[in-house]
Amino acid sequence: MAGRSDDDKTVKANSNLPMLKKRILSDENIPQSAVKRLRDNGAASTRPKLATDIAGVWSCDGFYVGKTTRRHSDRIKEHFQAIRKAKRSFENIRLKISSSPPAKRSLENVRPKVTSATVVGVPTKATGRKPVPAVVPATVSKTALSVVVSKKRPGWDLKGQVADMQEKVSVYKGKMHYLTELNRSLQEELELVKSHLKNSKAEAFNAHQQISAKDLEVKTLLAVQQDLNTELQKSKTELLNVKLDRDNFFNVCNTQKEDLDGLRATKQNLSNLLELKEGQIQVTEANLSQAMHELEQLRIQVADLKAETARQADELCAQEMQRRKLHNIIQELKGNIRVFCRVRPLIGVEKEKYEQIEHISFQDDRSIILYKVEESHTGRERKEAVKYHFDFDCVFQPTATQEIIFEELSLLVQSALDGYHVCIFAYGQTGSGKTYTMEGPDIVTLDTMGMIPRAVGQIFKRVDELKNKGWKYSFTASFIEIYNETIRDLLVSKPEKNVEYEIKRVSQTSEELYVTNLKYKTVTSEEEVHRLLQIARTNRSVAKTAINDRSSRSHSVFQLKIVGRHEDRDLNASSVLSLVDLAGSERLDKSLSTGERLREAQAINTSLSTLGLVITSISNKESHIPFRNSKLTYLLQNSLGGNSKTLMFVNISPCEENFSESLNSLRFASKVNECVIGTAHANRR
């Protein structure tokens, strides 16, 4: 604030200066001519020596009057010059001041130090000089000048004129004194201005330094600003991302809010449900306690019933054993070797060839008669029929279905489960229906299913029932082919070369046999057995194309090993159910057969005749039974005779052209049928 007031004062001083000059030149009524004169004479001016040169007198009204007018005008001139100079320097200073920062100084000092004493023109004691009025009092000067101007003295009044002139000189002297003072004051002021200028320069230098510092600062700040701009840009991007996140968050929030609403509704529902359930639980608990009570009662009853059941189980088991015994007696009564005869129907072209089967007749379901029409001995046209009568355990006419046939067979299957070895053969010439009887036709249906699948089906069905009686069973299946006395595994699609299949005893002490390298498959269901039969059938058909229907000249043997155990009573029952599709029994004309065919025929002959021989030997209770004469009888030795049951199907072709083969088959079967194999014993331990 102090600086500001100083400035104000400076401005005031600047503006006062011309006013002052004007007053000096005009207000004091100095005639312009006089002024001009003064200027013209000012060339030879010298600096006034105020103390020594001016030795005038003071007028009565206080104005100093010089000795000579000439000297006064010179001095005035000098003063004017000094004033001009001061003015110039003052202008310069002012210019400098205006171009430099405002000086902090007071221009009060520029003014002449005017005191009341000086104004009234009282001389100062110290200097001894007469005071110079700062401002010439207007009234006084006007009066003085008016005296000078108005007094028009006559030309002769030289004394008056001198007095006027003196008066004027006195006025000018006062003015000069004033101007001298003014000059001095201006000098002082100039000094002040100079010092002020010096200060200003110093200040300007400082300011420059500060500006440099500020520049540096500005640069630093610019760099900072740059950084901040980058930062700002980054922040903007981040803000954008944050906004996006926020939007997403809002969306999520909205979704979650909806979810929450849904959950709240669900919670409400669940709460309601819970309440309902709690109510229900209470009811249930009440019921439960009631039920617990009832349960206790029932437990007692159950204990009683268990005791009763155990007793009944004992009874049942005893009955089961009894049933098995009786069943076996029946089977024995029926004969341990049984023969069923089956005549197949005419098929395909046969139906056209033979309208009906004329050479076969059936008396009842146990006998069959074969007629042979022969030329009469007389040689005439008359023909005589030769009858061949055969009795079997069962004779099935062409109309007999697989189902009917199995009904008779099922009793034997039951024997197998009861622990007796069971062996079922199909004997007959090729095409007589052996495979059909044992397995069924190529495209098999539930109705046309053969004995093997039916037997398996019955076994698994019975096993389920026997489970309730405490029996547990396990089964192992195998399927082989015996061709030219060589065994082949029908369950192996690609037989490895040089694999030996040999029939061996399981152990020295056991009579149980097995075939080396043969695949014995554990089966747990009827379906599994069906799959195995399918594999065997496929493998046989492959061989059929390879070696000209080898199947008809080979035996196929399906064996199911049955092992049963009654844990509680420590009872075991094991047996083997064998179902054999024998090679065609037709006899080949040996004179026409050579090589492989001959060897085949011989092998078939040997094995079939050995089978017959073995059965008769068993029947005759001979000491030596030739089981080892063929692979077939060797493999089946445990299932033939002794404690086993044997069933032979003799399959007969309905075609008259097959008469002799049919007769041979029936004769062979009849021989077997005559055999009575001793009482069988179940394989029980």
Query: Which residues of this chain interact with ligand ADP, rule CB under 6 A?
Result: 344-345, 347, 428, 430-436, 441, 552, 651
Partner whose footprint covers residue 653, from ligand ADP, Mg ion, none (CB < 5 to 8 Å by kind): none
Q: Shortest gap between Cβ of 368 and ligand ADP (angstroms)?
A: 15
How many residues bind to Mg ion according to rule CB under 5 A? Answer: 2
When CB distances are held under 5 to 8 angstroms depending on the partner's kind, the choice from ligand ADP, Mg ion, none that residue 432 binds is ligand ADP
Nearest to 586 by CA among 428, 380, 445, 444: 428
- From ligand ADP, Mg ion, none, which one binds at residue 441 (CB under 5 to 8 Å depending on kind)? ligand ADP
Q: State the nearest-atom distance from the C-beta of 342 to ligand ADP, in Å.
A: 7
In whole angstroms, how close is the CB of 424 to ligand ADP at the nearest point? 14
Q: Which is nearer to Mg ion, 421 or 434 (CB)?
A: 434
Q: How many C-beta neighbours within 10 Å does residue 314 have?
A: 12
H/E element holding 120? helix 116-120
- Rounded to 5 degrees, φ, ψ at 552 are -75, -15
Minimum distance of Mg ion from residue 631's CB (angstroms): 18
User: How far is it, in rounded angstroms, from Cα 566 to Cα 570?
Assistant: 5
Q: Are 57 and 64 in contact (CB under 8 A)?
A: yes
Q: Of ligand ADP, Mg ion, none, which one sits near residue 631, judging by CB under 5 to 8 A according to partner kind?
A: none
Least distance from ligand ADP to the Cβ atom of residue 333, Å? 29
The answer to whether residues 512 and 574 touch, using CB atoms and an 8 Å cutoff, is: no
Residue 78 or 581: the one with the smaller Cβ distance to ligand ADP is 581
From the list Mg ion, ligand ADP, none, partner contacted by residue 340 (C-beta under 5 to 8 A by kind): none
Cα separation of 198 and 110, whole Å? 17
Q: How far is the CB of 435 from Mg ion (least distance, A)?
A: 3
* Closest to ligand ADP by CB, 480 or 515: 480
Q: Given the rule CB under 5 A, which of 296-304, 408-416, 434-442, 630-638 is the region that contacts Mg ion?
A: 434-442
431 binds, among Mg ion, ligand ADP, none (CB under 5 to 8 A by kind): ligand ADP
CB of 350 to ligand ADP, least distance (A): 9
Binding partner at 345 among ligand ADP, Mg ion, none, C-beta below 5 to 8 Å by kind: ligand ADP
* CB closest to Mg ion, residue no: 435
Query: CB of 617: closest distance to Mg ion in angstroms?
Result: 27
Q: Output 338 or 540, the one with its CB closest to ligand ADP.
A: 540
Please report which helix (H) or strand (E) contains residue 514, including its range.
Answer: strand 513-515
Closest CA to 118 of 215, 184, 217, 163: 184
Which ranges in 554-647 belong to alpha helices (H)? 595-619, 631-635
Q: Does residue 162 contact residue 61 with C-beta atoms inside 8 Å?
A: no
In this complex, which beta carbon is closest to Mg ion, that of residue 3 or of residue 441? 441
Minimum separation from the CB atom of position 379 to Mg ion (A): 41
- Rounded CA-CA distance 110/115 in Å is 14
Per the DSSP assignment, residues forming a β-bridge with 319 are: none
Instruction: Report the nearest approach of ligand ADP to the CB of residue 307 (Å).
Output: 53
Q: With CA atoms as reference, report the closest residue to 668 among 620, 605, 590.
A: 605
Nearest Cα residue to 342 out of 276, 304, 392? 392
CA distances from 542 to 426, 526, 536 (A): 22, 25, 10
Query: For residue 249, how many C-alpha atoms fall within 13 Å in the half-sphere facing its CB?
Result: 6
Residue 435 or 683: the one with the smaller Cβ distance to Mg ion is 435
Alpha-carbon torsion 420, 437, 675, 392, what sign? positive
- Asked if 435 touches Mg ion (CB under 5 A), the answer is yes
Residue 24 or 405 with smaller CB distance to ligand ADP: 405
Judged by CB under 5 A, does residue 651 bind Mg ion?
no
Q: Which stretch binds Mg ion (CB under 5 A): 247-255, 301-309, 430-438, 485-493?
A: 430-438
The Cα 525–Cα 475 span in angstroms is: 9
Nearer to ligand ADP, 63 or 427 (CB): 427
81 binds, among ligand ADP, Mg ion, none (CB under 5 to 8 A by kind): none
Cα–Cα distance for residue pair 38/70, rounded to 1 Å: 9
Rounded to the nearest 10 degrees, how much is the dihedral formed by the CA atoms of 235, 241, 243, 244? 170
Nearer to ligand ADP, 431 or 564 (CB): 431
HEC sequence for 552-576: HHCEEEEEEEEEEEECCCCEEEEEE
Q: Could you report how far apart the first and last alpha carbons of the chain are, in Å?
A: 136
Please identify, among the stretches 141-149, 207-215, 426-434, 470-478, the one whose residues bind Mg ion according to the rule CB under 5 A: 426-434
At closest approach, how far in Å is the CB of 540 from Mg ion? 9
CB of 551 to ligand ADP, least distance (A): 8
Cβ proximity to ligand ADP: between 433 and 564 the closer is 433
Closer to ligand ADP by Cβ: residue 199 or 448: 448
Residue whose structure tokens are 């500001």: 4
Select the span of 239-247, 435-443, 524-532, 539-547 touching Mg ion (CB under 5 A). 435-443
**What H or E segment, with its residue span, contains residue 645?**
strand 644-652
How far is 3 from 105, CA to CA, in rounded Å?
7
Residue nearest to ligand ADP (CB): 433
- And the tokens for 241? 């991302």
Span of 273-281, 390-398, 428-436, 538-546 interacting with Mg ion by CB under 5 A: 428-436
Footprint on this chain of Mg ion (rule: CB under 5 A):
434-435
